[in-house]
Amino acid sequence: MSSIFLLVGLATSAGATDKPMSLPDRLAALRTTIAIDHGKIVGPGAAALMEAGLESQFVLIGESHGIAEVANFSAAFFEALASQGFTALTIENGPTVADALAKKLKSNNGVAGIAAFDKAYPFATAFYNWQAEAELLARVAKAAGPSFQLWGVDQEFLGSAKYLLDQMSDEPVNVLAKSSIETLRQQESECYKKAVESGNPGELLMMKVKEDDLYALQKLLTAPKEKRALTMLNLLIESRNIYAKNMTPGQGYLSNIQRAKLMKQLVAGHLAQAPTQRMLLKAGAIHVFRGYNPLGPGSREIGNYLAEYAEGRGQKTLHVLVVAAKGQQAQFAGIGHASVPREIQKYDGKSAMAGVLPFLTAAEESKEWSLFDVRSLLGSAKSLANGNSNVQGMIQGFDFVLVIPEGTASKDL
């Protein structure tokens, strides 16, 4: 037998006896650790994570909200990236409120400034009424320096109507529009009192206002000098539409589609002005997926949009999922009520995030933060998932998965 056939025979024999590694084995081999030490990311996995971040135009962190450790990790990651041109933070808040928070941060008011805004405009911000999240903003603003930008790319939050109307009232609008805005401001005050009494966010002006009243005001704002007021009114209208669908049985999917479209359009507006901007986005895990996410058929959100945008420019994105295996997270408890710490949501086979279960299993014996660099699994995602589309989607959707053994609920400011 010639040497070449002998080599082929040996290779075939070896291939017949060696079984491909299973997903649990692959994850066990990939698992490394990181930690936060004095505000910095350290540990065996830190170098790979940092290198991947520095190679990317956009770093995206997907989370389950209300966990202090996630905010601390995000702040530490941004601080490490800031020296390499990362000066923008993109958050799951509306653009008008995000601009207000940015002004507080740029005036060096830091956490105190955010707390003052939250007190003046309760429930206008999503998540940044929590101490750890406010500290994240302050740290990011300091690290980015004078070039700091805060991009809000979501609908305006349920309680934001008061702030939007106050800002519109300060704009140079015509007499009829001014009167209409003042009437809405009075209605907002009355609605907020009722919402506090009941705790029901559905009592806020965002949901109680008549659409016809908003559209009537829209028709009054036609002059060039009224453009800013009209922009804020349009955000109020679209935000109301998104929430109204979300609160209507059977309309949740349409609400998500409309919201995802708005997020893409808002970030596209920023990138049209600064196409090379390097930024970190922090949002709910579903939003951060590359490709289709598990929320519904054909659901592609801002994470996929940014991945495609970067790839089209010859750049990269880094998608990092951060989850806590157990512990507590802060959750909304009603208008006028403080957030409450509740047990961290448990994932099961029916959950939209069921694909994270193998990672939780691979990390369950460790008391350290477990980091999985899953980029090497992408080419074999289908076979490793063994028919589980959620697991396949997770491998395709994220580059790194960070599992925190126990989370701590964020506290109110």
As a whole number of angstroms, the distance between CA 383 and CA 385 comes to 5
User: In this structure, is residue 229 part of a structural domain?
Assistant: no
User: In this structure, is residue 231 part of a structural domain?
Assistant: no
pLDDT at residue number 9: 47
- The encoded tokens of residue 261 equal 């479209």
pLDDT at residue number 13: 45
pLDDT at residue number 27: 97
Q: List phi, psi (to 5°) of 87.
A: -125, -5
pLDDT at residue number 18: 61
Are 334 and 204 spatial neighbours (Cβ–Cβ below 8 Å)? no
DSSP output for 115-175:
HHHHHHSTTSSSSTTBHHHHHHHHHHHHHHGGG-EEEE-SPPPTTTHHHHHHHHHTS---H
User: In this structure, is residue 413 part of a structural domain?
Assistant: no
pLDDT at residue number 170: 97
Residue entry with tokens 């994470």: 303
As a whole number of angstroms, the distance between CA 302 and CA 268 comes to 10
| Contacting residues for 144 by C-beta, under 8 A, at least 6 apart | 78, 82, 86, 87, 88, 89
- The encoded tokens of residue 232 equal 């804020």
User: In this structure, is residue 39 part of a structural domain?
Assistant: yes
Q: Distance of CA 353 to CAs 286, 347, 369, 378, Å?
A: 8, 7, 19, 18
pLDDT at residue number 206: 97
- The encoded tokens of residue 105 equal 């941060």
The total number of structural domains that make up the chain: 1
Q: Distance of CA 63 to CAs 126, 157, 160, 289, 407, Å?
A: 14, 18, 23, 11, 12
Q: List phi, psi (to 5°) of 68.
A: -60, -35
Looking up residue 384, the CATH number of its domain turns out to be 3.40.50
User: In this structure, is residue 164 part of a structural domain?
Assistant: no
DSSP output for 277-307:
-EEEEEEEHHHH-SS--TTSTT---HHHHHH
User: In this structure, is residue 279 part of a structural domain?
Assistant: yes
Q: How does pLDDT run across 16-56, given as a tens digit for each residue?
A: 456 678 999 999 999 999 999 999 999 999 999 999 999 99
- The encoded tokens of residue 22 equal 């299973």
Are 267 and 150 spatial neighbours (Cβ–Cβ below 8 Å)? no
| Contacting residues for 342 by C-beta, under 8 A, at least 6 apart | 328, 329, 330, 331, 409
Are 302 and 287 spatial neighbours (Cβ–Cβ below 8 Å)? yes
pLDDT at residue number 291: 95
Q: What is the span of the domain harbouring residue 111?
A: 19-155+255-407
Closest by Cα among 291, 306, 305 to 389: 291
pLDDT at residue number 20: 76
User: In this structure, is residue 355 part of a structural domain?
Assistant: yes
pLDDT at residue number 177: 98
* List of the chain residues with pLDDT < 50: 1-16
As a whole number of angstroms, the distance between CA 121 and CA 320 comes to 32
